[in-house]
Amino acid sequence: MKTAVVTFPGSNCDRDMWVALRDVSGKEPVKVWHGDADLPDGLDFIALPGGFSYGDYLRSGAMAANSPIMRSVVAAAERGVPVLGVCNGFQVLTEARLLPGALMRNAAQTFICRTVPLVVENATSLFTSAYTKGDTIHIPVAHHDGNYFADDDTLDRLEIEGRVAFRYAENCNGSRRDIAGVLNESGNVLGMMPHPERAIEADHGGSDGRRLFESVIGSLVGA
Amino acid sequence: MKVRIHVSLKPGVLDPQGRAVHHALEGLGYKGVEDVRIGRLVEMDVADDTTDAALDEMCQKLLANMVIENYRIEKVA
């Protein structure tokens, strides 16, 4: 099994993501730099971490979505390789059009940094199979632009297709329909604003995020 | 050729920044401000033979996010 964490200039959760993946998978993930043209061969999982890539210039995630490595990430996602984008990584995935919608400035205009309750809406996906539908889990958020927007038709389609992975139990940022995380059509790309990689050890603010990594790593065992 | 790209939020997309600025204007005592929407202005200097199609493509690929924004191209000179 081979996993990778992509670092953009301004990423700041790449190490936490790396540690989470290492702890759960037992293998050290490959570190990939945004300027690399190609991903290492044979990757089974790619994570785009949180942070402030390119200083959030233009729009959060817009510049990173157009960086050299993203062409390879898009191609890998289209081949079915699982891709997880957390926080800024979610913003990058929407800007790269791997996921529908956009992340706008929080409704209250403020940066939010606290642990929030989430409801697991889909417990059959690659990323969420270790949870139970309806579970309430506690995961930290830390963002300024987490206000999920998509038009009504897109939202309806996401709901019908079971592509809302997580919802905020209490809407903290104005996201439409309380959406905290969404899946792509094939179910191999997940974007979410909350940080599961910050919740993998009971001694460090809880371990509710660990099952997300166990789900996806579990699906790769043998790979 | 100088080109100005005006990027604005689509109608119906809530604009928390605009709302906050609207509130601040009212706080300063300005009456009759009905609505405030915040956009972005991108000024570019491009080769004279740059086509409209190329400008559209720049807007749609990078300068605007078509999920939430519209853009208008203004050729200045």
Q: What is the pLDDT of residues A194-217, one digit of tens each?
A: 999 999 999 888 999 999 999 999
Instruction: Provide the domain limits for residue B66.
Output: 2-76
More confident residue, B17 or B67: B67
Residue length of chain B: 77
Q: How far is CA A74 from CA A70, A201, A207, B20, in A?
A: 6, 31, 30, 37
Task: Kindly state whether B63 is in contact with chain A, defined as any CB-CB distance less than 8 angstroms.
Answer: yes
Count interface pairs A-B at CB distance under 8 A. 36
Given a cut of 80, whether residue A221 has pLDDT beyond it is no
Marked catalytic residue, from A13, A95, A172, A195: A195
Given a cut of 90, whether residue B12 has pLDDT beyond it is no
Computed on alpha carbons and rounded to an integer, the radius of gyration of chain B in Å comes to 16
Among A222, A163, A170, A152, which residue's Cα sits nearest to residue A1? Answer: A222
HSE-up of residue A121 (Cα within 13 Å, Cβ side): 21
Of the candidates B13, B16, B67, the beta carbon closest to that of A109 is on B16
Quickly state the pLDDT bin for B5 (edges 50, 70, 90). Answer: very high
Per-residue pLDDT averaged across A82-97, rounded? 98
The enclosing domain of B67 has a CATH number of 3.30.1280.10
pLDDT attached to residue B14: 86
Among A138, A134, A103, which residue's Cα sits nearest to residue A118? Answer: A138
pLDDT digits (tens, 9 = 90+) for A4-25: 999 999 999 999 999 999 999 9
Task: Kindly state whether B11 is in contact with chain A, defined as any CB-CB distance less than 8 angstroms.
Answer: no
Alpha helices in chain A (DSSP H): 14-25, 62-65, 68-79, 88-95, 152-160, 210-220
Task: Supply the ipTM of this predicted assembly.
Answer: 0.86
Is residue A87 part of the annotated active site? The answer reads: yes
A201 DSSP 8-state letter: B
In A, minimum Cα distance to B18 occurs at A109
Give, rounded to a whole angstrom, the gap between the first and last alpha carbons of chain A: 5
pLDDT attached to residue A204: 85
Contacts of A93 in chain B (CB under 8 A): none
Of the candidates A102, A109, A174, the beta carbon closest to that of B68 is on A102
Among A86, A11, A10, which residue's Cα sits nearest to residue A46? Answer: A86
Q: How many whole angstroms separate alpha carbon B2 and alpha carbon A187?
A: 44
HSE-up of residue A11 (Cα within 13 Å, Cβ side): 26
How would you class A152 by CB atoms within 10 Å of its CB: exposed for 0-12, middle for 13-18, buried for 19 or more? exposed
Residue length of chain A: 223
Given a cut of 90, whether residue A52 has pLDDT beyond it is yes
Q: Domain count of chain B?
A: 1
Given a cut of 60, whether residue B55 has pLDDT beyond it is yes
